[in-house]
Structure formats: C-alpha cells, structure tokens
Amino acid sequence: MKKMYFLLMVALSSLFLLTPIHAAEPVKVGMILPYSGVYAGLGKEITRAFELGLEVFGDEVNGRKIVLVQEDTEGKPNSGLSKTKKLIFSDKVDVLVGPVSSGVLAAMRDTVHNSKTPFVIANAGHDGISGAKCSPWIVRTSFSNRQVVRPMGKWMYDNGYRKVYLMAPDYAAGHQMMDHFKAGFKEAGGTIIGEEYPPLQGTKDFGPYLAKVKEAKPDALFVFFAGGPAIQFVKSFGAFGLGNTIPLAGAGWLTSPLYIKAQGEGANNIIGSANYIPSIDNAANKAYQDAFKAKHKREGSEFAVQGYDSARVIVEALKAVNGDTSDKKAFMDAIRAVTFDGPRGKMRFDSKNGNIIQNIYVYKNSKTNGVIAPSVFDVIKDVQDPSDSCTM
Ligand code: BEZ
C-alpha cells in the first residue's frame, strides 16, 4: 500500500514538473472602463469591440485563454483608482485596458507605473501621459487630446473664422482640448471672445451657457463634449435656435457614429476633427466594419476601433512572447513593438512616448439620402504627439 502511494506521488509530481507553469492559467485583462455615468456608452462600446477583436484575432495564445475582468470606473477618478488597485493587487491582472476619462487616467497613472503593470490606454487622451507623466509601462491606442484638437485652431482661422467662443466640461480633457485649440487659433491670428466650462457630471441644462454664446455673437462656437453630454448639448444647441446662426465646430466625439442618430437634425453641418472616420478606405477597415455590423447591426465607432485595436495589440504581443507574461518587461516590450495594418492604417506606437501615430480627419457632417454622416475634406497625415517633456 505504502509502495503504491509512493509511486502515485512520484507520478503526480513528474506530471506537475512536465507541465509548463502558465499552460492552463488564463491571461487576465483588466477592463477599467465606465459602465455607469456619463461615459457608460463609451465604456460599453470599447468592451464590445475588444471582445470582437478577440473573436477575430484569437482569444487563446499557447494554451492560455484570454479572459476579461471588468471594473466600473463610473467615470470618476476616485473610483477609477480604487478599481485599478483591485485589478492589480487582488485580481493580479496581466494587463490593463481603459479608461475613457482623462481625469481617471491621471488618478491611475502612478499606481500603474509603480506596480509595473502593462497598460494599454483605449481612450483617455490626457496629454501628460505622452509628456511629463509618460511611462515605459504605458502605451495608447487612442489619441492624446492635443493630437486631435491642435490642428483645428489653425484650420478654422484659415477658413475664415476670426472670433470664436469655447465650451467644454470642467475637467482635465475639457481644459486641455480648449487650451490646444486656443494655442493654434491665436497663433494663426484669431481671438477667443468667451469660454464656458459646465460641470462634467450632472449638467442637465445647457441653456444658461448657450444664452451667453448667443449674446456674444461669435463667428463660431468650438466645443468638446462626448457621450451623454454630447447628445444633450447638440440637442440643446438646436432647440435654442442657434443651429442657423452660429456655426458649431468641435473635437470629433461631439457627433460620434455611436450617438449621431440620437442627436437628430442638430448633428447636421457640424465641423469636427477625429482620429477615425468609418468611411476610411482600406481592407482592414472594411473587415472591421463588416465584422462589427454582422455582430451589432450598426456601424462601429471611433471608440470601438480603439477597443478592437487594443485587443489586437495584446494578442500580437502575447504571440511574440509565446503567451508567457511572467517576464513583465518582455511582455511590455512586445506590446510597444506591435505593428499591423489596422482600420486606421499602419498601427504603430511612437517609440519616444508610446502614443499612437495616426492621421487626423477634418470633416463636416452632411445629409445624404436622409442619413447624417461626416464628409472628410482634409486629412493631416501621421500626426505625432509632441513628446518634448517625456523622458523614459
Ligand atoms: C477624455 O476624458 O480624455 C475623453 C473622454 C471622451 C472622449 C474623448 C476624450
């Protein structure tokens, strides 16, 4: 009996020794996104496209299944930070994906950096992350705020606008976007004649802000709003009767394909700049839109493309390290080195700061056959985030 027990133990331990340590353990991806609050729609869109990306590019590498652990930031910095700590220290995720808000990103950054956790930013554009707060543990598949907005100031001046009013939510992204617009517009010779910063959470009525804009009679109103506030703002702008008197321009998320239908007529004629337009003409974008439409019965948005590309970045990096995430630096180096032909063209990270290099599209919404969609009239190629203050 003793001998049999001994032989059984020997067999079991040799089996254990022959099995690669990580063979059966899943790769855990911590999805740190808003699933409630004003940016809930954006968090859900990024998640569904990330899941689609895993279906298309593979959800298993070298025997390790890729699984998602989802946490709701509510779009709030405090909540985002505590959920980040849970994902890193309790769930022990291999990589983080998210968040949507620049405010949440700023709150998470030091915890991610100090714990050396690979982090793929799938939306939030906080400029510091590709500047003074850059980190070897962070890449961004989305954009930096200045990357998308800065070209618009000069573009609007060159197209005849001289006096512009600004409006954006009162948090990091709102102020950064307006500051970059201002810099480009003033440098070109334009004047800012007023600025409004309503609270991000809970602004139900844009009326008092729009009344001031009406009174000031600007050549145009330039804004940044996204998600729930973007839907409300565009509707209020129309309802306030400004649609026919003051041209409305903004950072592209103002009329995302995700909610342009909900905005109705108010979305027509709006001018914007964006890092993705559904009509981009390349094979990878067609494949992505076909797959998204087949699954969700509608067009994939810019938020979705960022989730889809983030999934592919992680899958490709996992393949490069044979599914082994135990050497975190090797895994992160593999993430930074990923490149592929994606829906936005050649996907690659800037080696200086980890921010994606991409085209920026300037467009005006117009109505064709009853459908309001962006018509692109300028493409600024291969825009990089100026990484002056990033040292890694
Ligand atoms: C941001 O907070 O960085 C952000 C949120 C929504 C859309 C674009 C940027």
Q: With H, G, I as helix, E, B as strand and everything else as coil, classify residue 271.
A: strand
270 and 292, same structural domain? Answer: no
Is residue 368 included in any domain, yes or no? yes
The count of structural domains within the chain is 2
Residues paired with 390 in a beta bridge: none
- From 102, 108, 258, give the residue whose CB has the most ligand 1 atoms within 8 Å, as the site to mutate: 102
CA distance 184 to 273: 14
105 and 156, same structural domain? Answer: no
Is residue 156 included in any domain, yes or no? yes
115 secondary structure, DSSP code: T
* Side-chain half-sphere CA neighbours of 77 within 13 A: 13
73 lines ligand 1 (CB under 6 A): no
Is residue 104 included in any domain, yes or no? yes
88 lines ligand 1 (CB under 6 A): no
CB 355 within 8 A of CB 387: yes
Sign of CA dihedral 114, 115, 118, 123: negative
Nearest CA to ligand 1 atom 6: 226
111 lines ligand 1 (CB under 6 A): no
The CATH number given to whatever domain includes residue 374 is 3.40.50.2300
Question: How do residues 130-181 score in pLDDT, each as one tens digit?
Answer: 999 999 999 999 999 999 998 899 999 999 999 999 999 999 999 999 999 9
104 lines ligand 1 (CB under 6 A): no
Is residue 21 included in any domain, yes or no? no
33 lines ligand 1 (CB under 6 A): no
155 lines ligand 1 (CB under 6 A): no
Q: Which helix (H) or strand (E) holds 377?
A: strand 371-383
Which residues of the chain carry a pLDDT beneath 50?
A: 1, 5-22
pLDDT of res. 85: 98
pLDDT of res. 14: 47
108 and 257, same structural domain? Answer: no
CA distance 82 to 73: 9
Is residue 392 included in any domain, yes or no? no
Nearest to 149 by CA among 390, 380, 364, 387: 380
139 and 188, same structural domain? Answer: no
Domain interval for residue 131: 27-143+281-349
CB 151 within 8 A of CB 362: yes
Is residue 187 included in any domain, yes or no? yes
Residues paired with 27 in a beta bridge: 66
Atom of ligand 1 at shortest range from CA of 124: 3
| Identity of residue 203 | T
47 and 87, same structural domain? Answer: yes
Is residue 32 included in any domain, yes or no? yes
376 and 261, same structural domain? Answer: yes
| Residue 88 backbone dihedrals phi, psi, to 5 degrees | -75, -50
255 and 172, same structural domain? Answer: yes
168 and 269, same structural domain? Answer: yes
264 and 159, same structural domain? Answer: yes
Radius of gyration of the chain (CA): 23
- Give distance in angstroms: CA of 281 to centre of ligand 1: 26
CB 174 within 8 A of CB 224: yes
181 and 299, same structural domain? Answer: no
Question: How do residues 197-256 score in pLDDT, each as one tens digit?
Answer: 999 998 989 999 999 999 999 999 999 999 999 999 999 999 888 988 999 999 989 999
370 and 324, same structural domain? Answer: no
Is residue 76 included in any domain, yes or no? yes
334 and 266, same structural domain? Answer: no
- Give distance in angstroms: CA of 253 to centre of ligand 1: 8
pLDDT of res. 386: 83
pLDDT of res. 23: 52
